[in-house]
Amino acid sequence: MKLDGIDECKTLTAAQQKELDIDSSASAPLEVTGVGKAPTCRYRSQNIPLFSYTVALITEKGIDFWAEGGNLAIEPMEVSGFPAKQVKLAGTKDAGCSTAVDTADGQNLYVTFLPITREFSPEQQCANAKKAAELALATIQTLR
């Protein structure tokens, strides 16, 4: 499932945004080290607790780009039947959690959950990133 040409801020429908307690969205390219800028939509809750999601469409690097080492803790997983990886900064509890999903050769959907008011456990952060990735995948399949 190629990500080329998809509007990054259409990856989560209004109903999905409501399900995730998201109030706003804005396109803002994400600088991904080793990739450059990737089309990214930042979704945010304006309520307490504050948090945000980013949904990046990385079309220049595949999921193997996310490898153990350096300051990253990587765990293989599956999201909606797609191979995926959980990506976190090693040794941190409140720096957010990301889910990278292998969508096509040389491409991956990269979804991050970031707590702003620090009221989420590391497990909740990763569960939220995975849930948003599942929802985004469902939407992207309808956009192809």
- Give the total number of structural domains in the chain: 1
Residue range 118-138: average pLDDT? 95
What is the reported pTM? 0.93
| Domain span including residue 34 | 8-143
**Which tens digits make up the pLDDT trace of 67-119?**
877 788 899 999 999 999 999 988 777 789 999 999 999 999 999 999 998 78
In this structure, is residue 3 part of a structural domain? no
In this structure, is residue 69 part of a structural domain? yes
Residue 51 forms beta bridges with which residues?
A: 115
For residue 93, CA distances in Å to 88, 122, 130 come to 9, 6, 17
**Which tens digits make up the pLDDT trace of 1-55?**
999 999 999 999 999 999 999 999 999 888 876 667 899 999 999 888 899 999 9
In this structure, is residue 63 part of a structural domain? yes
